[in-house]
Each structure stands twice: as C-alpha cells, then as structure tokens.
Structure 1
C-alpha cells in the first residue's frame, strides 16, 4: 500500500459534523482485506466503504464495508456516502444517474436524484426485507438497552428484521425514553453475538416535528457503541412495518425518519415502502456532505 485516497463523508445530512460519518476509499482494488481492516481501524469511523472493480455484469463497483473491528455485509450510510462522492467528486454524473454496487448481500442499485442540474439525494433500493421471531425476554432487552419495561411499546412486536444485516427492533413508547437510554454495552454485545444480531435498533412513532419515526441504534457487537444514523437498520425497520402489516397494503408509503439527535449528530432518512407488488420494496434516500479529503500513506 502506497498513497491511498481517503474521504470522510457525513451521510444523511447536508451539514458537516452531523449525520453518520463514513470513510470512503474509491480506489481499493489493490488493497488486501487485511489492509482494508487496518485502514477502517485507523479511520475509526462507524463504517468505511472500499470500492473496487466488479466482475458482475450488472454492477459498476464491488463494495466492501468494515467497522473498526470487523467486515460487515451491508452498510446503508456508507453506500449513500460512496454514491454521493462518486457523483460529486469523481465525475459519475457524466456517465449516468444510476450506480449499481455489488455487495456481500447482493446488488444494491442507487439512483442519483437531480433537480435543476444539482444532486439532491441518492436513493438505494435494498434487498428484499425479512422478519424473524426471536426468543428473548422483553424485560432483559429493556435492561440491556437502558430503558424500563414500561418504556417498551407493547403495541408492536419485538422482532429481528433484515435488508442485508440482522437488526433487533425494539419498539419504544416515547422519544424521551429513547434519548435517555443508557445501554449496557458489554452485555448487549454478548447478547447480540449470541443471536447473530448486527445492531439493536430502538424506534418510536413519537417523533419530532417533521419526522414520522424516531430511532436510535447500538452496535457494540461490531465495535460501534452507537451508530448515529443507520441506513441499513432503518431499511430493515421499514421492511418490518410492511411485513407486519403496519403499513397500508397495495400502496406506496413515504416515511421520514430522524436519528442521531441524542448524540448531537442529527440526520434525516427518506424511506419509501412500496407495497404495490407481491413483495415490499424498500428504498432509502438521503443527502451527504464531503467533510474531509486526503491521502493515507502506508
């Protein structure tokens, strides 16, 4: 490894130092997996995305994601950050308005949403959602995430959901309870590893003005105490809402989800849940801001 271009992109926001920071390495084709993990650890961001050539006939890039400690099969905010970087800094808009990433979970197409010649948002279509029962004690989960049993919203089931990674969805009655949560990170990490859970995702319909849902995400099992604004987990949440019949059948529902406010990195996700076909289709869109550009020297 000689000089490697590295970018720090704040995703799901237009403001620097808000949203979810991702490392993006757009020319990673010569890097080994060991080097990628070392770079992700050095950047010490929630996730870093490494782009390389793809052999898939329908893909524009192969993309791999790493937290500071492990490789992750899919990361939403790093996908948004990568697409935004390619469009705004790497000349992709001259080639078209669509980028297809080959990930460990399948192809993720991203649409570049333009208005008056300016990039407004990027929108990724996630893989088919799924939900699964989980045999856990609700009181124990509440204890691990640092809320009370009374804070849980028993109108909604606690389940595992996925659009690439497995997330434990924890329904909470109020935004205040989510903000006040003080997770027992070491114990939560043990429970997540036991069940193959990537993150534990708290959600509430008690959202601030301008949002439909409010969420918070803890991921100690993959080396991230708290993921500020989570494209993968909120996509899984949208799939859960569709598959649990909590959104209207036969229609397209638009949701605005807020996350990151509790830790001073507010972000906004624009989520489309399309139930007009046989299977729900989940699309997650957002903005981004390129905050740092530089080189890593090995």
Structure 2
C-alpha cells in the first residue's frame, strides 16, 4: 500500500464550494493508467488531473485528465487547479511565474499572475482554435438539451468548436432559457458519441451585469451530466466568436464569462481573444481555491 497526495480544488472561483471541482494528483509518475482512471472514479469529480514527468523538452510536466469514466485530451479547469496547487501548495511560485504542461493536444503554457507576492489568477494559452460545420436540426438539438423550440438564437451558427476537445456550441436567446434547460441525457450522450463531441455548450449574450457571456455545459458522453464551469468549452467558444467574425479582427478582446449559477456553483472566467495575428489566440484565466488536501491509500 502506498499513500498518494490528492487535492480537491474548486476552479474559476475564490470561494470554497463554488466553481468547478477538480482532483489534482501531483505525484502520478508511479501510477498506471488503470490506476489513474480508478482514482478519478473514486474522487468522482468532473475531471481529475495527474501530473507526471515531462517527455517534451519544453514542458515542465506531463498532465493527463480523466473524468470518472474516461480519459479526455484536454481540460481547462483541471489545468487551472493543477497550476494553483503547484504555485500555492508546492512552491512553484518561488522559482517561476510560468508552467508549461504537455497534454495530449500539445503544449499549454500557463502564466501565474501575482500581486504583492500572492497568486491572483492563472492564465492558460490554449491551442489554435478551430470550427467545423455539423448538420443538425436546431429544433432536434433544442429538444435534446431541454429548451423550447424557439429558444435557440438564430443570429449565431450551431457549430462544433475546439481548442483541444470538441464542443457542440448551442446559441440560446436568454439566460432564463439556459437556466431552465432539462437535457435528455441519454439521447444527448448518444449524439455526442456519434459525432466525437466532448461536451454540449449552451451560450448566450443575455448575461447579468458584469458578464459578457453566460454558459452552461453538459457532457453525458464522458460520464459528466453537467460540467459546472468549463475552461476548455469556453475557450472553444471564444475561438468560435473570432473565427466566425463575431468579434472584430485586429483587436484584443476581453470577455468575462459566467457559468455554474444554475446549479449553485457560480464561477467566473476571464477570456482574452487576440485577433491581431493570422490566427486568433485564446487565453483563459481564473482563480481557484484548494478545498481539500490529503492522502489516498492506494
């Protein structure tokens, strides 16, 4: 029997019991992949991150992400959580203000933003965004995500978008419609598996004061009914807004995204979309709170 350090971190919030919880295992080098999956299942959080020695010469750590049921290629909130643990619990901040993670989708650099020596936010630069057409009937999608037939917002296209994982972006007219959504999880999960979709991401510009966008995310295909506050999906959304010319080119855009309020886990994401170059660059930032630190006996 061996003891494994485990952290439970609430990401995209400064408060405990809010935002999106992630497991972080900072010393996973001796674990097998089946053990990582079993630990993620035992923690039963939306995703858990496992840090291993880097293989890429420019990376500080290899990171792998698991939902309770499957490994996924990239997870934003677990990246924020891992960065927060390294910086505040394990002394990384004393030697560097930058961490580079090697993921299944490529290198993810993270900047540690401080004030008066204290960590305030971490900001990850996600991989180059992409969008893809998908032939789906809006009314059928509305039925599966549990909103009314006239709730989808036809000003914006229904598309797949990615900065790592593949997300089905569903534009919705109002925050109220998003909050009232009651998905048909079995059907939605089958649709997502059929098209290789990680999550279905509802979004609206009808956000409350202080926010530019409001979102909600469902991921039954990977064993998560609802992912409270999603760094990967909101990064993909930001890339979609740039690639679909819904944000003016040649500028840096700063968006504040709210998510999790519908399930009493409110979180805030600070998203920068740089459209000054040939390809948009998406950076997603947020804070975190280490809620539990302990040992798991494996």
Task: Give 1:96's aligned residue.
Answer: 96
Asked whether 1:217 is paired with 2:217, we answer yes
Distance in 2 (alpha carbons) for counterparts of 1:97 and 1:105: 23
Task: Give 2:41's aligned residue.
Answer: 41
Asked whether 1:163 is paired with 2:163, we answer yes
Task: Give 2:278's aligned residue.
Answer: 278
> 1:101-134 CA distances to partner (integer Å, 9 max, x unpaired)?
0000000000000111111100000000000000
Structure 2: segments with no counterpart, 5+ residues:
none
> 1:144-166 CA distances to partner (integer Å, 9 max, x unpaired)?
00001200000000000000000
Task: Give 2:128's aligned residue.
Answer: 128
Task: Give 1:142's aligned residue.
Answer: 142
> 1:145-189 CA distances to partner (integer Å, 9 max, x unpaired)?
000120000000000000000000000000000000000001100
Structure 1: segments with no counterpart, 5+ residues:
none
Deviation (angstroms), 1:95: 1.4
**TM-score when scaled to structure 2?**
0.99
> 1:234-268 CA distances to partner (integer Å, 9 max, x unpaired)?
00000000000000100000000000000000000
4+ long deviations beyond 2 Å: none
SS at match of 1:31: coil
Query: Alpha carbon RMSD of aligned pairs, Å?
Result: 0.5
SS at match of 1:178: helix
Distance in 2 (alpha carbons) for counterparts of 1:153 and 1:19: 26
SS at match of 2:177: helix
**Matched residues, number:** 298
SS at match of 1:57: coil
**TM-score when scaled to structure 1?**
0.99
Asked whether 1:197 is paired with 2:191, we answer no
Distance in 2 (alpha carbons) for counterparts of 1:171 and 1:2: 48
Task: Give 1:297's aligned residue.
Answer: 297
Task: Give 1:5's aligned residue.
Answer: 5
Asked whether 1:79 is paired with 2:88, we answer no
Distance in 2 (alpha carbons) for counterparts of 1:218 and 1:53: 32
SS at match of 2:239: helix
Distance in 2 (alpha carbons) for counterparts of 1:64 and 1:55: 13
> 1:79-117 CA distances to partner (integer Å, 9 max, x unpaired)?
000001100000001111000000000000000001111
> 1:40-87 CA distances to partner (integer Å, 9 max, x unpaired)?
000000000000101211000000000000000000000000001100
Distance in 1 (alpha carbons) for counterparts of 2:5 and 2:123: 25
Distance in 2 (alpha carbons) for counterparts of 1:295 and 1:100: 26
Distance in 1 (alpha carbons) for counterparts of 2:293 and 2:14: 16
SS at match of 2:42: helix
